[in-house]
Structures are given as C-alpha cells and as structure tokens.
Amino acid sequence: MVKGVIFDMDGLMFDTERLWDTFWEPCCRKLGLPQPGPEFMASGRGLAGENLLRHLAEFYPQIDPKVMLKEVYAIAAERFTRPVPCKPGLHELLEWLKKHHIPCIVASSSPRHMIENNLKNDHVDGYFQGIVCGDDVEHSKPDPDIFLKAAAQLGLPAKDCLVLEDSFNGVRAGHAAGAVTVMVPDLAQPDEEIKQLYTCCCHDLLEVRQLLEEGKL
C-alpha cells in the first residue's frame, strides 16, 4: 500500500482545465495574436516554467513568451480569487486518507497563490502537508522534478507515493519519478503511449478511494 499521496490540482482536484482553456482567447485577443487551436491546448496542459515558455515560443514565435504568460496569468489570477468546482470524490478521498493517516501534498504547475486560493476556497487546505508549485523546481512536467520534491517533503521515496494526475505530461512525470501513477482523465483520454506509463486509470477520485480501500494501490 502507498504511504503518501501526491495530488496534481488543475483537472484532477478542481474543474479548472476548462477554465484555463478559456483564458488564452482573451489573452491572444488583447495581444493581437491568432486564436489558439486544439493542438496548442492539448500539448500545453501540465506545462510550467521553461517548458511552458518553449511551448508558447513554438506556437507564437512573433512575441516574447514571457509577455504572453504574464497576460494569461493576470486573467487567471482574477478568476481564481473566486471558488471553482471540485472534481467528484475529492472530499471523500481526502477524508479517507486523513482517517488512515496517509499524508498528502499538492504538486501543481500553477503559481502558488492560485493553488492556495483554490484550496482555501474549497476548504481543503487543511488536508495537505504542503504545496510544491512550478516555480519551486528547475524543470517542470513532464520532467519528474516536482514529484520528486513533493515526495521528499513527505519524507518518502517516490516509489512509496501515489501520484494522481489527469494530464499526459503529468503521467509522464509521475512515471519518470518512479511513483505509483494513476490517471484520472479530464479533457483527454489516454492514448497508447500513456497507457504504458500509468499503473491504472480511474474514472474519478471515488474509484481511487475504492482501490485504496481494497489494497490494490
């Protein structure tokens, strides 16, 4: 059985991936850029730091990616001052982990203040022993750094941790970290590559709790 749980946030704990997708359109409109297409959205989920800047530069070479990122983060920061919907089973899973004294931590590519706002607005901040955000590591997902740092903060090797992720880049990072990696798909269903990387795929966080109860994780 796993000894600690590492939660992604966007699309895993909260229904925010759909919101993030809506932020790019006003960002591009304000900066006079073409509207983003499906490939831009899909390949950019879960990225942060230099990986996200490279992603922006690839699709929008005509502008400094830092300018684009600053604008979209400003839009997001305003929206995330208000509550966002949590994903099914989040509260039930957190209560089960608390009851069984299994520590958890958030490892998300989002800025720290946005993570803190979402946790506080949904009254779940007290369940977590800490937060690791994209700015805390040199290399963001799909590199494993964020999950390795989160496991270290729990005082556990990554192999004893369960990583919960919804994005392709997150699953890649969890696998690279050597963690037990479970995908709970949000906007994209796993393809053949991703199916080879995760331990299992769950419909929602209630199913994750069930597998833990049954000792299958």
Q: Quick check: 2 and 159 in contact, CB under 8 A?
A: no
- Does the annotation count 8 as an active-site position? yes
Instruction: Using CB atoms within 10 Å of the CB of residue 155, give its burial: 0 to 12 exposed, 13 to 18 middle, 19+ buried.
Output: exposed
Select which of 8, 143, 145, 166 is catalytic.
8
Instruction: Compute the average pLDDT of residues 175-202.
Output: 97
Select which of 10, 145, 166, 186 is catalytic.
10
Two tokens at 216?
């299958």
User: Between the CA atoms of 67, 73, 79 and 80, what dihedral angle is there, to the nearest 10 degrees?
Assistant: -170
DSSP 10: B
CATH number of 4-15+85-213: 3.40.50.1000
Rounded to two decimals, what is the model's pTM? 0.89
115 vs 51 pLDDT, higher one: 115
DSSP 86: B
In tens, the pLDDT along 4-36 reads: 999 999 999 999 988 999 999 999 999 999 999
Amino acid 21 reads D
Query: What span, in angstroms and rounded, lies between the C-alpha atoms of 43 and 86?
Result: 23
Residue that has been written with the tokens 């270290």 in this structure: 152
Residue that has been written with the tokens 């502008």 in this structure: 63
- Does the annotation count 145 as an active-site position? no
Q: Residue 216 pLDDT more than 90? A: yes
